[in-house]
A = this chain, B = another copy of it.
């Protein structure tokens, strides 16, 4: 691999770790845990791994352990720092015994099931320290959930004499890691399973897990770009920029970027949902800000829109489920729809909605009619493999700007000229910030300590991360502790509870207190690119979200 000049310079960075991990340690058991809700159901689903105690590490005697073989899987969407989790894990198991081996399963859980793997040597690991991406072994979205898959996996684990598996993933992947831990315990397979909290979306967090890795770096990359765009719009004074940001359902990314850049508007899906704010209200609010700024000679601005917004707007839920039903795989209506030329599909859908009889039928037809062409077509055309609309593909940024334009008065001296952006792929594989480089390395190293102390069904936990890294606290949390029951595809199943933006919490409250000021005045902040070599206040700062959450 040819490296860029910055990669060469950055390779030498030694990630910082909690002091406790820098010497011999022992696992100290804390309280017996319970799931966040639905205790008896979770316990029934996980008889072997439910109710375990939290683990903290303390200084312990130096003991000699035999070498171990460990497997690692990257699961789901990329997040900055994945390579450092693997590097920390590698260094950790080599510390346990220099003869330990690390195997990486290729392209996600598929690698385990299909027995595709790569022995990770010193040389390979060194190539990837402090780099972005998941390309050391690749990632994938196959769900590891059936007994057959678990058994297939066990075959190769046995063959390679692997006694512990680390799964790096988001809430779904960690839920599945727990199922695997449970199964391997139940059949006495002799394989421990440890999870690591990954996702740029920032929605895998709770009392025990402060943040998921990658959120810091991704938000910093997006904020760099938003700041640059704000400076552009403040210089040219002629465009309104509508910027959609990744983050799936949760608005953490949008909220964090808003704190870092102080845009004129930032929509928060959770607020839209909780306060039942209609599409018309959203659009009118933005239009009013545009009018006020225009009248004040400021016909420019920046609007942040979270990726998942549309699902949280009250009137879209019935519309989307009606369309999903109409286009359900292999239904007669789907067959009819598919035969139509694209140009006739919108009017066909409009007609179908008008024929609807349910309580939402009238509202659905009216909403669909009000939508800009591009979004109406996206709602009908872009389906996933289940036939459901792919909400993330809908160009909400264009929908909102087009509907805003229709609300503006004509004949003003000021003009409304929108520009559109969607940022996501730009940040998922950025090289990790110091924070993520340290946090990920510590998570991986912590995973090795949980393995050495015989744990399974735990997630690696590193806390107190707004303090200097040496003071961070490392331990393990039973995954079942984070679970509750939810209905997915019609079935009630145990899952790790997603953390959406909490409107009562400091990050949202701080934003809400400032946003009127930001809307009318131009209060942009230009955070600039991630720095690796400068003063610590520039290079080592965690997210505003974390700082505000800690300030409580």
Taking the complex as formed, is A343 at the interface, i.e. its CB lies under 8 A from any CB of chain B? yes
Q: How far is the CA of A460 from the CA of B532 in the complex (A)?
A: 34
Q: Which listed residue, B234, B427, B541, touches A228 by the CB 8 Å rule? A: B427
Q: A328-369 toward B: CB 8 Å interface, digit per residue (1/0)? A: 000000000000001100000000000000000000000000
Q: Which residues of B contact A421 (CB under 8 A)?
A: 425-426
Q: How far is the CA of A44 from the CA of B429 in the complex (A)?
A: 57
Q: Which residues of B contact A78 (CB under 8 A)?
A: 231-232, 235-236
Q: How far is the CA of A139 from the CA of B10 in the complex (A)?
A: 38
Q: Which listed residue, B77, B134, B526, touches A4 by the CB 8 Å rule? A: B526
Taking the complex as formed, is A135 at the interface, i.e. its CB lies under 8 A from any CB of chain B? yes
Taking the complex as formed, is A224 at the interface, i.e. its CB lies under 8 A from any CB of chain B? yes
Q: Which residues of B contact A234 (CB under 8 A)?
A: 133, 135
| Count of chain copies | 2
Contact A9 B538 (CB under 8 A): yes
Q: Which positions 205-233 of chain A face chain B at CB distance < 8 Å? A: 221, 224-225, 227-229, 231-233
Taking the complex as formed, is A531 at the interface, i.e. its CB lies under 8 A from any CB of chain B? yes
Q: How far is the CA of A104 from the CA of B90 in the complex (A)?
A: 58
Taking the complex as formed, is A237 at the interface, i.e. its CB lies under 8 A from any CB of chain B? yes
- Once A373-B342, A529-B529 are accepted as A-B contacts, the answer to whether A228 and B537 lie under 8 Å apart by CB is no
A138, chain B: closest CB distance, angstroms = 6
Taking the complex as formed, is A535 at the interface, i.e. its CB lies under 8 A from any CB of chain B? yes
Q: How far is the CA of A236 from the CA of B427 in the complex (A)?
A: 14
Taking the complex as formed, is A527 at the interface, i.e. its CB lies under 8 A from any CB of chain B? yes
Contact B4 A525 (CB under 8 A): yes
- Once A228-B132, A228-B429, A530-B529 are accepted as A-B contacts, the answer to whether A537 and B236 lie under 8 Å apart by CB is no
Contact B232 A428 (CB under 8 A): yes
A318, chain B: closest CB distance, angstroms = 27
Q: How far is the CA of A260 from the CA of B419 in the complex (A)?
A: 27
Taking the complex as formed, is A534 at the interface, i.e. its CB lies under 8 A from any CB of chain B? yes
Q: Which residues of B contact A541 (CB under 8 A)?
A: 5
Q: Which positions 497-545 of chain A face chain B at CB distance < 8 Å? A: 523, 525-535, 537-538, 541
Contact B535 A534 (CB under 8 A): no
Taking the complex as formed, is A107 at the interface, i.e. its CB lies under 8 A from any CB of chain B? yes
- Chain A residues within 8 Å of B, Cβ to Cβ: 2-7, 9-10, 77-78, 107, 131-135, 138-139, 221, 224-225, 227-229, 231-237, 239, 241, 260, 262, 342-343, 373, 419, 421, 425-431, 523, 525-535, 537-538, 541
Name the 3 nearest CB pairs between A and B, nearest first: A533-B534, A529-B529, A133-B231
10 contacts between A and B (CB under 8 A): A2-B523, A4-B527, A7-B526, A132-B231, A133-B526, A134-B235, A228-B429, A232-B429, A233-B425, A342-B373
